[in-house]
């Protein structure tokens, strides 16, 4: 009689479990068959009334039934739980969309990209060099005297006696001329380092773009034309400009280029020190001594070079009065650009 009940219980469970569609129905199946007062427990209670001869076989059949029911129950439970989890992960298409915040280029990168784009349009290629540079490339080959103040520890981060963090991107000019014969026409953007006190107008790390053009019969007039073309494309056609005599060890003659102050429009203010003018770059004709250091024949070739600070260029164009904001990563400032 018990063996018949075991068989019926097995058939009943297999039939009931096929009808289960959710975890609540499955819980009802568990209570019916596997709980303390469930059908299988009651069958085990009846086992004590069986004869000694039948007990071993009936006990084995009951164990097989309990294990089989438990295994099928657990498999179905896992399947339903996974299905419920996947359902919960599905997006609610009735909800309003969430706007993703997409990052943008840093203002200095934007400025540098614009400068590079203008000079590429003027026929310049782009060259880069290492930030850790030799004393010779950074100073010696560029005609800096041994006792020049720029070599002092107050202005330069020396790593060893012969190597330093470059103070300008001009060393790339030396590397370029050592590698290629004229004509060469390139700009050299990059990060530079100087041991300066941090203030609203100066920082210990900043970016520069140097330019170099070497060929036969290159004139100072070509230099002025190139820089005026750049300034008008970058700052606008209505700007006023001027060139002032200056001095740089690696150019002779040398000059600085000024434009009218962006705040006072030439009337004079604190930013332009009441002169009405702001310096944007330095330039000049390459000194023959520099050509000698790179085995260029200065009797055959001439050239010009120029350099500008990207931070200063961005300050002037966008009317920013503190260089430190470029390095503070303040999202309130950065998102304006």
Give 291-301 pLDDT, tens digit per residue.
999 999 999 99
Q: How confident is the model at residue 316 (pLDDT cuts 50, 70, 90)?
A: confident
Higher per-residue confidence, 149 vs 137: 137
Judged against a pLDDT cut of 70, whether residue 157 lies above it is answered with yes
Backbone φ and ψ for 139, nearest 5 degrees, come out as: -125, -60
- What pLDDT, on the 0 to 100 scale, is given for residue 166? 93
Per the prediction, the chain carries an average pLDDT of 85
Split at pLDDT 50, 70, 90, the class of 65 is confident
Q: Rounded to an integer, what distance in angstroms lies between the CA atom of residue 81 and that of residue 69?
A: 18
pTM surpassing 0.75?
no
Task: Look at 22 and 131; give whichever has higher pLDDT.
Answer: 131
Residue 126 has pLDDT above 80, yes or no: yes
Whether the predicted pLDDT of 144 surpasses 60: yes
Predicted confidence at residue 40, as pLDDT, reads 76
Check residue 178 and give its pLDDT.
Answer: 94
The pLDDT of residue 154: 63
């Amino acid at each position: 009689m018990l063996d018949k009940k075991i068989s019926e219980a097995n058939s009943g469970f297999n039939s009931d479990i096929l009808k289960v569609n959710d975890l609540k129905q499955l819980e009802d199946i568990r209570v019916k068959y596997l709980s303390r007062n469930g059908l299988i427990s009651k069958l085990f209670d009846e086992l004590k009334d069986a004869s000694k001869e039948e007990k071993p076989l009936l006990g084995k059949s009951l164990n097989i039934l309990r294990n089989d029911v438990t295994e099928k129950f657990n498999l179905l439970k896992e399947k339903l739980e996974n299905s419920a989890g996947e359902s919960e992960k599905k997006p609610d298409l009735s909800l309003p969309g969430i706007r993703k915040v997409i990052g943008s280029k840093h203002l200095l990168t934007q400025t540098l990209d614009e400068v590079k784009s203008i000079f590429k349009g003027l026929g310049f290629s782009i060259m880069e060099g290492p930030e850790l540079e030799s004393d010779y490339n950074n100073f010696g080959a560029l005609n800096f005297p041994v006792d020049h103040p720029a070599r002092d520890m107050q202005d330069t981060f020396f790593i060893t006696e012969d190597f330093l963090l470059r103070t300008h991107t001009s060393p790339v000019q030396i590397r370029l001329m050592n590698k290629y014969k004229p004509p060469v026409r390139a700009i050299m953007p990059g990060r530079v380092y100087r041991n300066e006190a941090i203030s609203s107008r100066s920082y210990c790390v900043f970016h520069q773009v140097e330019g170099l053009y070497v060929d036969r019969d290159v004139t100072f007039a070509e230099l002025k034309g190139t820089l005026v073309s750049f300034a008008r494309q970058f700052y606008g056609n209505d700007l006023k400009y001027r060139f002032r005599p200056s001095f740089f060890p690696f150019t002779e003659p040398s000059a600085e280029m000024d434009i009218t102050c962006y705040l006072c429009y030439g009337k004079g203010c604190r930013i332009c020190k009441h002169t009405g003018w702001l310096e944007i770059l330095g330039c000049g004709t390459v000194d023959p001594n520099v050509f000698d250091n790179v085995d260029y024949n200065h009797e055959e070739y001439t050239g010009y070079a120029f350099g500008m600070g990207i931070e200063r260029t961005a300050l002037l164009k966008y009317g920013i009065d503190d260089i430190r904001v470029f390095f503070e990563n303040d999202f309130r400032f950065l998102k304006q650009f």
